[in-house]
Structure 1
Amino acid sequence: MAQLKRFTIDPITRIEGHLRIEVDLDSNNVVKDAYSSSGMFRGIELIMQDRDFHDVGLFAQRICGVCTYTHYRVGTEAVEAALGVQIPTNARIVRNLLHASLFLHDHVVHFYQLHGMDWFDVVAALSADPEKAAAVALKYSPTPYNAGAGTFRAVQERVSALVASGELGPFANGYWGNPSYKLTPEQDLIMLSHYLDALAVQRTLAQAMAVFGGKNPHPQSLVVGGVTSIMDIVDPSRVAEFLGKMQSGAQFIQNAYLPDIRMIADAYIQEAKSGEGYGVPDFMSYGAFPIDNIPWPKGAMLFPSGVFNRNTGMVTDLNADQIKEDVTRAWYQGPNEGVYPGEESTIPDYTGYEADGALNRSGKYSWIKAPRYQGLPMETGPLARLLIGRARKDPLIEKAMTDFERSVPRGFSPDEWYSTVGRTAARAVEADIIASQVGAWVDELAANVGQGQTQTYTAPSNTSGEGFRLLDAPRGALGHWIRIENGRVTHYQAVVPSTWNASPRDHKGQMGPYEASLINTRLAVANQPLEVLRTVHSFDPCIGCAVHIVDSKGAEVARFQVDV
């Protein structure tokens, strides 16, 4: 049997946090084994101990510098679930509007700034014909975004100046010229131009969050019981400002993001047909954007919750009691079969690497735990939300997916969603769905205020209890579990989307979604793992939950005092 070649990509760049991928290639450069590892320790559960419950959301959002608002919301709503607090309708709407701004911002930044260069070749774009590029843009949209020949020529000049100066910035060290790139130079130029446009668009969407959130990142308008942005929701100019910024983002999504994804699906259709990047057959969502005040899981949501299996085509209701975290191959102590997060402890058990610096493949090898639902790994994120919505025959989601399939010039079948291309496309389709709902939510809020319904807060009446909140973040299923006694936190556990997707093997040897999705991927050039990066990036990895460094011997690394 031929010897496999081991390649280590450490760190995976263009993501939040620190992620390492090890793959073994055969003589044909095909991935035969894969391991996903995070080299940093989170520890947020330990930091939460003995905190006042009012502070939970503010601490929780520091888990991550990207999905700050989602952790803020879910942490706050976990407290509300534990204490039996029912927030007013206006507070729910404002929370959804803030969440919408986060989703649109996150999806745009992910595709263009973090994932786009896995699909388009920056160097090839410099040799494109700007007039031809303008004509190509019309193939994918009747109203392409900022797509004139003059614009494309200016982009070439701007990037050429960077090349001449030697200051390539984000364009440095790319695998330019790799045969795995499929776009034409003109298509590359369209993508490069929209990459630069997206820098301004993401700023506008961040400003939208600041209208009701106070600031971005780390908004500050949520409290246990509601929101504090009452002066903004009763001011028509502030509501109009929010809506205008969101509509600006929606225009970019409809005229740049979606057309660019059609272009990619068209060019990479063979990769989609072959299922490149497909991993595990089970998909899970907690649901997102509640549209009534009925507590989870019975309330209606824009994206419904559930568990979907590709092999059966069946979707089932989600039972939170079936969630467990396995630490067999993670650097923590705990029973092999896993523990329910409401009862789980966070006890570090760092065993290190092999002598040659490689992962210990027979033992523990990551700071990420292995969440499992009914003992199975689950993919979570935009693709899961769309598949579950379609399986539940949600008309909005069904139409959006069908419209996309029909809009790809060479066609896009339902089976082709199960791929790196499909996972990437799902994010754009989802962004368009969310953008289409913002106006109605703003109208609902304005109608309530117009009728004198301005309540945004319900005071908690209890100081003890336990509960959890499950809600999807942009990257997928996010859950926070909490126990409160006499106003202080006595137990906390957060199971985040990238924990589900980036999990190591469990006690049964089952791979996590990242690992499974890389098997049988063929690299065009062995020492240029573009295809590996493309698939891993398609999940939008966010390992930012790993924000605290721990010394392997337990010693204190450093202590800082900040004078305020």
Structure 2
Amino acid sequence: MAKRTITVDPVTRIEGHLRIQADMDGSGAITRASSSGTMVRGVEIILRGRDPRDAWAFAQRICGVCTLVHGIASVRAVEDALHYPIPRNAEIIRNLMIAAQFVQDHVMHFYHLHALDWVDVVSALKADPAKASALAQSISDYPRSSPGYFSDVKKKLTRFVDSGQLGIFANGYWGNPGYRLPPEANLMAVAHYLDALAWQREVAKLHAIFGGKNPHPNFVVGGAPTAISVGPDIKGAGATAVNITGLDIVHGVIGELRRFVDQVYLPDTLAIAGFYKDWFRNGEGVGNFLSYGEFPQKSMADIDTFMIPRGAIVNRDLSHVEEVDLRDRQQVQEFVAHSWYSYTTGKKSGLHPFVGQTHLKYTGPKPPFETLDMDASYSWIKSPRWKGRAMEVGPLARVLVAYAKGDEKVRELVGLALKKLDIPPTALFSTMGRTAARTLETKWIADAMEGWYQELIGNIRTGNLKTFNNALWEPHTWPPHAQGVGFTEAPRGSLAHWLVIHEGLVENYQAVVPSTWNAGPRDAAGQEGPYEASLRGLKLAVADQPLEILRTIHSFDPCIACAVHMVDPSGEEMLQVKVV
């Protein structure tokens, strides 16, 4: 086989626009892969000169999927800069909102974005509904598992095919030899795909109750945007507050979240993973993992009490977790050696986000283009580094840091999964390891929600209804110059917004998102980003069907943040993409 280059542009079933260009040797193995973000964000520029208390509303629009977490990171950045504590009830409400985002996002990613890399939809047409029912009932007590139910799903899928259109299942590589599930397992997965569509609508109610709406729920610097009422639902203040009716709905949502994770998501993941155990040996990446930490059990100041711990793992060494300081200007830096940006300090220098720069400088060919020069700049994504190292962030990183720090719940979940699949802990450093870790993390977080809910109810019963601290609300009480970092763990990984306030207005704003860490291009030293490193060595079963590339890239759950379109000075479109 001759050497060749394969381009996947755009990578579909993600948020945003991503291009993967891979060089392959004579054996068909990928020797070098390049990850190119083909969109520019620009929100950092928009935020300059604005009231920092309003920043969250703009920052949320960085992404149409991760709206909540960007709002959280933004308000926390302002609170950090102004040393602004918030009431415990507000922390609990934020924990519940972030947790609901995690569970909803992970389930939706698995079924609607990633599962189709493992599930052959067309094969499900050959399934025996009775056998599919027996399979489903052997792994779970999920009530929607009767032969009649699977027969109805099969009929619905057959109508898609007979009409000449696969609808939401179009453009797949169905029949590729890389698919291994039996028809009955494929039918079960398709059924649960459809169930998850209806389930996620119920989950959104929690954000609507605490944040007023979903997506883009409301936030406020200093606490939570909703008051708590113990009075009747009458016109006036109580009508816009969260009362017992709303809290009962929240409790019901938490129960529904946990049931779906326990009865559907977790069993399905383990069942599917059992057919693809070789993928626990493919797609490792850089071998370094980073977690900022999330879910304060006391306050944001008590990082050591966070449920998801902070820390860094280097060179796959689970015996040692390094400390992480987001304010240390030698720890987190962004590089632009292969990005379409310029620094006043030069292309090879790294900048901490407090002094970060957003100077757009496109130097690539005029789109549309067949190939990009991967020895030059080739992405709108920067290259973040922690102590000079490329780091993977996301569910796998969080699970590994918690596992290495001895978290009992995580060790129990990981242990059960490893035993069931008969694999060693090192198998987690892989494509399927990321997928499994995402599911285990979902179970971990969903189970924790009940405790936070009961804590909130307990506070209310004692008369503690406070959800907002107005002590530092007016700018005349602020110092003339302040800087802060607001961080969270988004479903896709470590997220932080660095903010500089001068004379009451935003002077500098830099957001380093999870997919910046994972999808960034090579740096000045030639170090690959996690996407790029994870693809090296993969072989395609069918040369013009990059299923293996999609499996590995989707295992990170890419979210290439929403941004403006590229236009020339006259307003003409410069970029067009074609589906491969």
Provide the TM-score with structure 1 as the length reference: 0.94
- Distance of aligned partners of 1:378 and 1:181 in 2 relative to their CA distance in 1, 3 Å threshold: same
1:395 to 401, 408, 431: 408
The answer on 1:477 being equivalent to 2:494 is yes
Partners of 2:315 and 2:258 lie apart in 1 by: 31
Match in the other structure for 2:394: 381
Amino acid at match of 2:563: V
Which residue among 348, 358, 361 is the counterpart of 1:346? 358
Contact 1:265/1:412, CA 8 A, preserved across alignment: no
- The match for 1:210 is 208
Cα distance between partner residues in 2 of 1:437 and 1:131:
36
Name the CA distance, whole Å, in 2 between partners of 1:496 and 1:304.
18
The answer on whether the counterparts of 2:226 and 2:242 sit within 8 Å (CA) in structure 1 is no
Contact kept in structure 2, 1:503 and 1:512, CA below 8 Å: yes
Q: Does 1:329 align with 2:346?
A: no
- What is the percent sequence identity of the aligned residues? 44
Query: 1:48 touches 1:489 (CA, 8 Å); kept in 2?
Result: yes
Q: Contact conserved, 1:97 with 1:441, CA < 8 A, in 2?
A: yes
Q: 2:238 is matched with which residue? A: none
Q: 2:247 aligns with which of 232, 239, 242?
A: 239
Aligned residue for 2:234? none
**Cα deviation per residue 1:16-60 (whole Å; 9 max; x = unaligned)?**
000000112223321111010011111111000011111111111
The one of 266, 273, 276 aligned to 1:265: 273
Residue identity matched to 1:265: A
Asked if the contact 1:400–1:429 (Cα under 8 Å) also holds between the matched residues in 2, the reply is yes
What aligned pairs does 1:75-154 form with structure 2 within 5 A after superposition?
75-141=74-140, 143-144=141-142, 146-154=144-152
Deviation at 1:425, TM superposition (A): 0.8
**Count of aligned pairs between the two proteins:** 548
Q: Which residue of 2 aligns with 1:416?
A: 427
Tell me the amino acid that sits aligned with residue 226 of structure 1: G
Q: Do the aligned partners of 1:463 and 1:484 also contact (CA within 8 Å) in 2?
A: no
Alignment CA distance shift 1:10-1:211 (3 Å)? same
Distance 1:477 1:418 in 2: 18
Q: Which moved more, 1:423-432 or 1:463-472?
A: 463-472
Matched with 1:455 is: 466
The offset of 1:546, in angstroms, is 4.0
Which residue pairs with 2:282 in the alignment? 276
Aligned to 1:42: 41
Q: What's the CA shift string for 1:330-377, capped at 9, x where partnerless?
A: 000023131000101100010013895311111100000000001110
Quick check: 1:103–1:431 contact (8 Å CA) kept in 2? Answer: yes
- Could you report, residue by residue, the CA deviation over 1:274-318 in whole angstroms, capped at 9, with x for unpaired residues? x2111111000001111111516x341111010012443221111
| Distance of aligned partners of 1:305 and 1:412 in 2 relative to their CA distance in 1, 3 Å threshold | same
Contact preservation (8 Å) 2:33, 2:533? yes
SS at structure 1 position matched to 2:465? coil
Aligned to 2:156: 158
1:234 deviates by: 5.4
How far apart are 1:153 and its partner, in Å?
0.7
Superposition pairs of residues 192-211 of structure 1, within 5 angstroms: 192-211=190-209
Equivalent positions of 1:463-542 (< 5 A) are: 463-464=478-479, 465-542=482-559
Q: Which residue identity lines up with residue 376 of structure 2 in the other structure? A: G
**Structure 2: stretches of 5+ with no match in the other structure:** 230-240, 574-580
Q: What secondary structure, in the 3-state scheme, does the structure 2 residue paired with 1:153 have?
A: helix
What is the letter of the counterpart of residue 187 of structure 2? L
CA shift for structure 1 position 412: 2.8
| Contact 2:228/2:466 (<8 A) preserved | no
- Distance, in Å, in 2 between the alignment partners of 1:225 and 1:427 is 31
SS of 2:95's partner is helix
- C-alpha distance in structure 2 between counterparts of 1:403 and 1:206, whole Å: 30
Give yes or no for the alignment of 1:307 onto 2:312: yes
Call closer, same or farther: CA 1:34–1:68 in 2, change over 3 Å: same
| SS of alignment partner, residue 354 of structure 2 | coil
Distance 1:145 1:317 in 2: 45
Please name the residue that 1:432 is paired with: 443
How far, CA to CA, are the matches of 1:412 and 1:137 in structure 2? Answer: 23
| Residue matched to 1:371 | 384
The CA deviation string for residues 161-194 of structure 1, in whole angstroms up to 9 with x for no partner, is: 1111223222111100101111111111111110
> Quick one: which amino acid aligns to residue 103 of structure 1?
F
Once the two structures are overlaid, the 10-residue window that deviates more, 126-135 or 308-317, is: 308-317
SS of residue paired to 2:373: coil
TM-score by length of 2: 0.92
The CA distance in 2 between the partners of 1:510 and 1:145, in whole Å, is 49
Residues 326 and 337 in structure 1, CA contact (< 8 A), matched pair in contact too: yes
Q: Show CA shifts across 1:533-561 (max 9, x none).
A: 01000100000x2411233x555569xxx
2:231 aligned with 1:225: no
SS in 1 for 2:264: helix
**Mapped partners of 2:484, 2:426: distance in 1:** 38
1:258-288: per-residue Cα shift (whole Å, max 9, x none)? 111111221011221xx21111110000011
Q: Which moved more, 1:147-156 or 1:227-236?
A: 227-236
**What amino acid is the match of 1:405?**
L
Residues 365-393 of structure 1, C-alpha deviation per residue, up to 9 Å, x if partnerless? 00000000011100000000000000000
Distance in 2 between residues matched to 1:367 and 1:215, nearest whole Å:
31
| CA contact 2:393–2:493 (8 Å) conserved in 1 | yes
Aligned partner of 1:78: which letter?
A
Q: Out of 271, 282, 295, which is 1:289 matched to?
A: 295
